[in-house]
Chains A and B, each alone.
Chain A
């Protein structure tokens, strides 16, 4: 079945540091890939998505590129802020099937 593997964290960075959160997946077909963000005490918000190979999703300074050859969708940001502190979930969806989530990576940005 489908699965998503992401680094567990927590990841602690200083403000303005470069962020990478690794995500790899296994799927039988050609899934759409997503990053969701969950701020403390809140639900999930879609951060960015990519629907086919080599697509780059971007939002709020975050980027992720759909790499079919390495089955990866790593999340990056050039300069993190304290307000980026949250839990980040990598996820995939094949067609109209359910979404499969990774375990989530907690990011803590310190001033």
Chain B
């Protein structure tokens, strides 16, 4: 079946540094990938839609310059949290659009802790 690999699964970084999270579709091509953020005890909030070869589409209220998204190939999208602060600590999950009438295939998520 379709597999999406997300790396790293957890990361701790110092305030002010940048962190890159990778999302790879292992056995299918994904022209579109999605990045979600999940706060404790809350649902997933869509941050942005990543389109291969073009700029990402950000949801309202999400800072483009803070959450940089690059979708350079049909199997890889990256999310870079720039100048991270403690309030950016969260669980970030990517998903890839497998063509057809499916739900998306999700990565295993990345727990980011900014200290």
Cross-chain contact of B44 among A42, A46, A93, A101 (Cβ < 8 A): A101
Cross-chain contact of A96 among B97, B103, B106 (Cβ < 8 A): B97
Residues 81-115 of B at the A interface (beta carbon under 8 Å):
93, 95, 97, 101-109, 111
Cross-chain contact of B42 among A44, A46, A103 (Cβ < 8 A): A103
Indicate if B43 sits at the interface (CB-CB under 8 A).
yes
User: In which size bucket is the chain A interface?
Assistant: 20 to 34
Q: Number of contacts between A and B (CB, 8 Å)?
A: 46
Residues of A within 8 A of B (CB): 32, 34, 36, 41-46, 49, 51, 89, 91, 93, 96, 98-99, 101-104
> Given the complex of chains A and B, what is the CA–CA distance between A104 and B103 in angstroms?
16
Indicate if B67 sits at the interface (CB-CB under 8 A).
no
Q: In the complex, what residues of A have CB within 8 A of residue B51's CB?
A: none
Number of B interface residues in the complex (CB < 8 A): 20
Cross-chain contact of A44 among B49, B93, B97, B111 (Cβ < 8 A): B93
> Given the complex of chains A and B, what is the CA–CA distance between A78 and B44 in angstroms?
28
Known contacts A51-B101, A96-B97, A98-B34; A44 and B43 CB within 8 A of each other: no
A46 touches B103 (CB 8 A): yes
**Which of B44, B46, B93, B103 counts the most chain A CB atoms within 10 A?**
B103
Known contacts A42-B109, A43-B108; A103 and B103 CB within 8 A of each other: no
B46 touches A98 (CB 8 A): yes
Q: In the complex, what residues of B have CB within 8 A of residue A103's CB?
A: 42-43
B103 touches A49 (CB 8 A): yes
Measured CB to CB, the closest approach of chain B to A27, in angstroms, equals 15
Measured CB to CB, the closest approach of chain A to B56, in angstroms, equals 13
A43 touches B6 (CB 8 A): yes
**Which of B93, B95, B106, B109 counts the most chain A CB atoms within 10 A?**
B106
Measured CB to CB, the closest approach of chain B to A104, in angstroms, equals 5
4 more contacts with CB within 8 A, not counting A44-B106, A96-B97, A98-B46, are A36-B103, A42-B108, A46-B103, A99-B46
Cross-chain contact of B43 among A49, A93, A96, A102 (Cβ < 8 A): A102
B106 touches A45 (CB 8 A): yes
Interface residues as binary, B28-52 with A (CB distance below 8 Å gives 1, 0 otherwise): 0000001000000011101001000
